[in-house]
Amino acid sequence: MEFMDIIWYIVICFAFVAYLIMLWMIIGDLFRNREQSGWVKAIWIVFLFVFPWLTGLIYLVVHGTGMAERSAKEADRYKAAQDEYIRSVAGKSPAEHISDAKQLLAEGVIDQAEFDALKAKALA
């Protein structure tokens, strides 16, 4: 196998991977786009498999801005959900723990020694 054959093989592999990524991104955007009807989406998918590179480039030119906006909106939604999850499992701050312990002490549920232990634990 000659050196140029290896280079050509690398170029072909790169083009194939680029095609798969383009196909994945466009099909994902098609299903994310709520403004298009199902028939229009089906036509895009058929053309993507019949004339893949040409259809992919046309789709990117026609829907490129909307594709970026939908992708950013989706990323914002995922980030908000992740932040909410982290807040829900992160627990309370030391000040909140001490405040809760102070309230329990005021209600007489715990005594001063237990309050001091909870305060020390919260500050540790």
Given pLDDT bands bounded at 50, 70 and 90, which one contains residue 105?
confident
pLDDT confidence band for 118 (50 / 70 / 90): confident
Range of the domain at 110: 92-124
Domain count, the chain: 2
In this structure, what token pair is assigned to residue 38?
């199902």
Arithmetic mean of pLDDT, 78-82: 93
Please provide the average confidence, as pLDDT, over all residues in the chain: 89
Check if the beta carbon of residue 32 is closer than 8 Å to that of residue 74.
Answer: yes
Longest dimension (CA), the chain: 86
Residue range 31-47: average pLDDT? 91
Same domain, 97 and 63: no
* pLDDT the model gives residue 47: 93
Q: Same domain, yes or no, for 87 and 105?
A: no
Do 101 and 87 share a domain, yes or no?
no
